[in-house]
Chains A and B, each alone.
Chain A
Amino acid sequence: AQSVTQLDSQVPVFEEAPVELRCNYSSSVSVYLFWYVQYPNQGLQLLLKYLSGSTLVESINGFEAEFNKSQTSFHLRKPSVHISDTAEYFCAVSPVTGTYKYIFGTGTRLKVLA
């Protein structure tokens, strides 16, 4: 079985400051890793994913995440946040075999302050 832990339920940060949203996972099998973003009253959107290869993955809007197998982590970072980044962020894992179901963390609410 797999589980995902997002220890920070809320993260307030000032505009243009850096931010890190933490994600740790537990799995006995190899997994794919994902970050999804959910804006108010909208569905989830894929932000970035790790499937294989380089452990550092980037999104088009400046977010990046690094897969650390030894620490079973996939933390999300952005060097300078904008007001528009205010949203809820979910970390998820999916086994690379089987029915490919997604297991989501409880989410981190990022609030960017002016």
Chain B
Amino acid sequence: EAGVAQSPRYKIIEKRQSVAFWCNPISGHATLYWYQQILGQGPKLLIQFQNNGVVDDSQLPKDRFSAERLKGVDSTLKIQPAKLEDSAVYLCASSPGLRQGGYYEQYFGPGTRLTVT
């Protein structure tokens, strides 16, 4: 079974530029997550999708970050314009679905390391 795929793996941009990250979850997984992992910190959830609907985007800086999951499969996360503090690893994860009386493991991709100069 193929894992969660992310691209690019590395990206360097200047502040005020825009950037987009792509994620392809494990086939059949209904739930998709985007996390931001700043150096020295644990991952922080930015947005959670169930199929193509948003479940939780309470920690997404909506003035500059946007995300979409068209057709409920792959997803893109965009930053426009980027700031220096956006330098981080952006992790995508997927799980079979939202828990309903049970538990679903989250499977993580390798991440995209963004450096904003």
Contacts and interface: CB of A to CB of B under 8 A. Distances in A.
A4 B42 contact: yes
Interface residues of A, number: 22
A44 B91 contact: yes
Interface residues of B, number: 22
B14 interface: no
Contacts, number: 49
A106 B55 CA distance: 25
Contacts of A36: 108
Interface of B: 3-4, 40-45, 48, 55-56, 91, 93, 98-99, 103, 105-106, 108-111
Given A90-B42, A102-B106, A43 B48 contact: no
A45 interface: yes
